[in-house]
Amino acid sequence: MMFCPQCKGLMISSGGQLKCKKCGYIRDFNDTDRLTKTDKRTEKEITIVEDVEEIATLPTTTIKCPECDCTTAYWWLRQLRAADESEVRFFRCTACGKTWREYD
């Protein structure tokens, strides 16, 4: 993205030039102005809480563990996909340590 040097507004391509939508500043394209197209989206790694001391500070909730049927688990949220998609809720059983996730 290109930003206006005068008002810091977003500039758009218009007839071989860049024009600020906010203040009207116009400049010609130069050699450093390049558009790139990305066909592939890369996913970030899932962060799993490993430190026992860090787990002890997490909040708990009442939910049934799929492994041992315990009804208490630690929980935390992570944004794994695009910002406009909901977060993923992770759970870790307080008894057996099994970790699982839940989507909205």
Q: Catalytic annotation on 69? A: no
Q: Is 84 a catalytic residue?
A: yes
**Measured distance CA(82)–CA(41) in Å, rounded:** 10
Please name every residue paired with 11 in a beta bridge, in sequence order, or none if there are none: 20
Options 84, 87, 102, 104, the catalytic residue: 84
Which entry of 54, 85, 87, 102 is annotated as an active-site residue?
85
Radius of gyration for the chain, computed over Cα atoms and rounded to the nearest angstrom: 24
- What token pair was written down for 33? 């102005």
- Active-site residues: which are they? 84-85
